[in-house]
Structure 1
């Protein structure tokens, strides 16, 4: 019996049939994805509906914290900062006078005057706060932070080494000069307390804080000298620090402290051999 094809009808090839199957699979997968998304959305909606109370409490708590922070910043912290800056002016004046006294003219009277000025900077006078009061009354302000640095330096010069360390450890700064000086001053205090190992640690922190011509060679030198002064000297470490000064900070050798560098290098080399 003869078989007739309908007019216009074309028998699909195997490839075309496979394409149809793939299209059906894609449609099926797409439908599954949307069904899954619908189910997830429904579950999310159910969870939100069931936990609305806690969600609103959480949002409210965040809002309260943010509002509290803004109020503290605008109404408390900012006025405190201004007030502290005004109060610390006189203490800074005493501190600067003490720091700039020329001790060479009359050592005894110069030291006495310097010490009295440092005490005034700490304790205050003429109705103005000293650093100690600034620190206690305006904690958290930039003025109080800087007051810890100045108070530490004042206590160091007054030979109150433990108090100096306490203040300087409270001070924090990323400034390349002051940050290094604070750590170096702690090292100086530990030297006076004859805790040489700890002093060496702080001198190393001081020269590692930043690399600059003003402080780095000073604390490399102090670290090297201290390494030679340990109960068990470390001449190799000392020589490393001295050589760094010679290689990287040659101009330092022209300073008062730097003129002794060759002597220290010779001592370190002798102990290292």
Structure 2
């Protein structure tokens, strides 16, 4: 018998966490904000994390993912279902990719709700959700799940909402999905992230109405971001490259130096430099990093 993950054909974003460095200092900054406190412990049900990807927005979201671990929370834990868009080979390309991941993690933590997936498969004759036109069926499945009286308080986190490819749907349909889930269940909260421009579009939606006091701007965490980049992110990337090529400690130090020089304070520029180095013979890494204009 197929597992829920196999039926949903879903990505498990938890597997990506091994490639994320320490982000404790970022989460300390996040929990110091009154907006986050209101979202976690208060009545606020939507929170937006605003900022550009190259400024470290994804690192902030990973810090929240780790910070919401039941083992860390002192209060009654809220379950977390999350999707990280724009992550290379695991990129969530569409609304359906996000939905499948979110539903899969809900069923992982609340397996008693798996019966709704079986019922949906039986009623629609779908054996595996792999078609791009399954958005409607998955939306209805999610609604059935969250209406169940045993459904526990859950935060749905979507990083990079502006990176979703709405090829087969109207972007406003995702806003409607968020609004509908919150109307159906008081146990739902949404934590979203995107660029300043995308926040402007979402905040003007007559359906969702995200207020200014429900948005955290990561520009306010510049020092914490630079510490994470310098002390954790670049050393991790240098180790990954060194392990990839099987090179010695001296070369690792050189790669670290090159990445620091290439970064200009940007996470994205570090990633681009790493891609350039990994494409080339390690003996030409120095010239290649300089050649990509970083």
TM over 0.5: no
**Going by fraction, where is helix more abundant, 1 or 2?**
1
Compare relative contact order (CA 8 Å, sep 6+) and give the higher one, 1 or 2: 2
**Going by fraction, where is strand more abundant, 1 or 2?**
2
User: Normalising to structure 2: TM-score of the pair?
Assistant: 0.27
User: Normalising to structure 1: TM-score of the pair?
Assistant: 0.28
Q: Greater Rg, structure 1 or structure 2?
A: 1
